[in-house]
Chains A and B, each alone.
Chain A
Amino acid sequence: MSIFDIAGCLVHRFSSFPGFVAAIMLLGAASAHAESMGDADDLANLSLEELLATEITTLSRKAENLGGAPAAVFVISQSDIRRSGARSIPELLRIVPGMQVAQIDGNKWAVTARGANGRFANKLLVLMDGRTLYTPMLGGVYWDVQDTDIAAIERIEVIRGPGATMWGSNAVNGVVNIITKHAADTQGGNLSVSGGQGGVESVLRFGATNDDFAYRAFAKVLDRDGNVSLAGDDIGDDTDMVRFGGRIDWDRKNGDELTVSGEAYAGTSGEYRISRSVTPPYEVINERETDVSGVFALARWSRNIDDDSQIEARVYFDSYDREAPTYDEKIATIDFDVQHRFRLGDRHDLVWGVNFRRSDSQTEGTFEISLDPADRTQNLVSAFIQDDISVFGDKARLMIGSKFENNNLSDRNIEVEPSVRLATDFGENGTIWVAASHAVRMPSRGELDGRVVSAVLPPGQPSFPLPVPLVPTANGDGSMKSEEVTTYELGYRMRNDALFVDVALFYNDFDDLRSLTPAAPICAPSGDILQINPACLATATHVEAPLIIQNDFRTETAGVELAVSRQVSEWWRLQGGYTYFHIVNESAGVLAGLAVQEDSPDHQVSLRSSMDLRQNFELDIWLRWVDDLEGQQIDAYTAMDLRFAWSPKPALMIAAGGRNLLAGDHMEFMSELVDLAPVQIEPEAYIDIRWSF
């Protein structure tokens, strides 16, 4: 029902377009009552938090039931955020059944859904208020800098499976939409200080409002302690960061809404890296730091043209600078987006839009990583249209649409990313949905232009005896094209006043995946091919064995994702999740390259218990079991997060808790670039104090 307009999630890329949230939470609930949007029974089944997220105009405007969202969606709510005790976005994403989240070290994460995980997991698109956090440099998200005032996040919407029709390329395995609070929802002063074995951080925020104008500003400082090596020694994966930001919302009485937001940050991210050179000792493990800084500014304007149409325009500028031990990168991006949504007759709800993005990137390489050409300008132009149609006498909804994209770095003129989705009522309070979609992942700059050293083997290897070191590298020769997936999904969800169940099954057929093809070894620095001119060894400092990045890999994956929520009593809620992931089939005889396929656990289980004890106490227990990673020889582990919060006065909340308990020092993931030494994640205890004034 589109009150809750799950479609919102598919249809709208940003927060201010009608609805999404509640939608998702509501899911099947309302759909059983076709005749009555806003049915009292349906609403009574919602929590207060969900009610507050329910859009009343959408509710009245789309008075017919459309059968729920035809996609695998999950929303992390404000209470999830507070009660998780999480201090970063990746930690929050662990809440979502179907997400695969693993911590690499104190500031690096591997985050994806439905496989192909990695530090540069490149098949998950992440957005904050419509601004992409995905970097086109090496692909994926730099989680060490993608932070904000966590308490000012309104919600996080996660759509698993292709979202390319609405959101564009790289939304292959899922889309994460982080939506920050309206400035009017962060009023007054707020000071949060937390500290523990994992370091300290504090956030100071102030907000005020004047009639229809509201703003907030915040400053955040964090100093996080790192983890330990396999031997249990402290290593250098510490993090420090200073961040300032703010947001202004101006809601005109005529229905115009203007939002302006921005942030700036600077800090360092430490790591325990394998540094390589062609002189002895060739490979050493040492503590190194990356200097990071960045800034963004975003403006968004929307207008209700009339009851049946809405237009929204957005522009943002985003720039960052990373000076890593391996190479430096700077990128500046400007993005323009316009969307128009309108009703056509009684059955059609259309949304279409156009987008232009330009990125200028500059790099400075080292022996270990370099890009050629060092600098590039990328232009991305795209348009999409999607129709949300109510069918079968409003018992079902059909969503059909496509995105069309052109990127000056891609070999194809136009990438077409269509999808068809259908949802219909099924049984008491239930919705069943099916979907077929096609999405692409565009090659990163690293894959097109990069040269990445993956090892330095000392002279005299038994299998390849040479007088000089042998250096295998992954090389982009500019020929890589987009990876492609066709996905088929089937889902069911139901909800009544005590129980919510959501199951999604998927089957992914990937083609043109990144592969590595061995090329002839060459002498460096002369560049002679060793087989043709063996004499080149005489002057060589080393021999390079290039692996050329191509698109010769195929695979098929499948899985099941289950989310269950049970309101045991008014004060006790249980939420469970189970994820099964399976590689059905993969092409033999090619090197899968950096996209290691065994980097996702077969099984994951999560159980959260949230209790409201008396008036002012909250007790949260969160258990996670993650299966082993065969490809990395990382063992299965069980971890528990605990949080106990007490609010002695309305303006004060004191919480104490622990993260990653039970698991001891444990490894969760290794960087696929083989550039980091193994790190064991440590359990930690913390105290968190929040004061409003």
Chain B
Amino acid sequence: MVLSRHISRTVLCCAVLWASLPQTEAAETAAEVTVKAAVVHKIAKFVTWPDSAFESPQSPIRFCVVGNGRIYDALRRMGDRPIHGRPVAVIRAPEPSLAAANCDVLYLTRDAERRAAEWLDVVADEPVLTVGDAGEYGGNDSIVMLTIRRDKVRFAINLEANSNTGLSISAQLLQLAAAVGGGA
């Protein structure tokens, strides 16, 4: 009797605890990450950086990854393909204060979500293409927002977030976006 009450209390307790946990999103699969890396790599080809963003014509385009996502490895595998004739370097992002000077693309993985605003803020007026990963739902104020819908990678472009960066986004890219926000 005592035992059964103990068990039932434990079960109830666990159930409440479980129910109160945030719903975890499905983990990114390897395939999803690989496709996202390829998409981001391609998107960069549709973006023009001002010459001032690079030290020399041979300087690499630097992809910085914030957070622990597997996207870092996936981007590195993509990395031997040049963009605009420049080599590609993939690095783990340094501190927010160093991002503007060291990153041309800033990829905010899902587990960087809580600090996303801080990162986005420091590069808001710099020629840095910010890329966020919304998972199934949610999102932040990155210029490019990746989502998954019906098993496919989609991206939205937030032009307002790009208004002070000096980056130029091609019309072809906007045509491929699932949504374009932030006004003309």
Contact = CB atoms under 8 A, between A and B. Distances in A.
B151 interface: yes
B171 A653 contact: yes
A48 B34 contact: no
B42 interface: yes
A185 to B, nearest CB: 5
Given A56-B148, A60-B31, A48 B171 contact: no
A211 B42 CA distance: 28
Nearest to A16: B150
A59 B31 contact: yes
Interface in B1-60: 29-32, 34-35, 37-39, 41-43, 45-46, 48
Contact of A43 (B34, B137, B183): B34
Interface residues of B, number: 45
B74 interface: yes
Interface stretch (B97-105, B108-116, B119-127, B172-180): B172-180
A60 B27 CA distance: 13
B9 to A, nearest CB: 30
A187 B179 contact: yes
A228 to B, nearest CB: 35
A349 to B, nearest CB: 16
A98 interface: no
A194 interface: no
Given A57-B151, A82-B175, A40 B180 contact: no
Contacts of A653: 171, 175
A587 B165 CA distance: 72
Interface in A30-68: 37-40, 43-44, 46-49, 51-60
B29 A56 contact: yes
A46 B176 CA distance: 14
A650 to B, nearest CB: 5
Nearest to B38: A43
Contacts of A615: 48, 168-171
Contact of B35 (A38, A187, A253, A652): A38
B81 A44 contact: yes
A56 B170 contact: no
Contacts of A52: 39, 152-155, 176
A650 B39 CA distance: 20
B149 interface: yes
A315 to B, nearest CB: 20
A18 interface: yes
B86 interface: no
A251 B152 CA distance: 13
A188 B35 contact: no
The listed residue with most A CB atoms (<10 A of its CB), out of B39, B43, B155, B170, is: B170
A46 B38 contact: yes
The listed residue with most B CB atoms (<10 A of its CB), out of A49, A51, A57, is: A51
B35 A54 contact: yes
Q: What are the 7 closest A-B residue pairs judged by CB atoms, nearest first?
A: A647-B171, A59-B31, A40-B77, A43-B38, A48-B42, A38-B31, A60-B31
12 contacts: A38-B30, A40-B34, A51-B42, A52-B39, A59-B31, A79-B175, A188-B179, A188-B180, A647-B174, A650-B174, A651-B180, A651-B183
Interface of B: 29-32, 34-35, 37-39, 41-43, 45-46, 48, 74, 77-78, 81, 136-137, 148-155, 157, 159, 168-176, 178-180, 183-184
Given A43-B78, A54-B153, 19 more contacts: A40-B37, A40-B77, A44-B78, A44-B81, A48-B176, A53-B152, A57-B151, A60-B30, A78-B175, A79-B172, A79-B176, A182-B149, A182-B150, A184-B154, A184-B178, A253-B136, A615-B169, A615-B171, A616-B171
Interface of A: 3, 16, 18, 37-40, 43-44, 46-49, 51-60, 78-79, 82, 182, 184-185, 187-188, 211, 251, 253, 257, 570, 612, 615-616, 618, 647, 649-653, 692
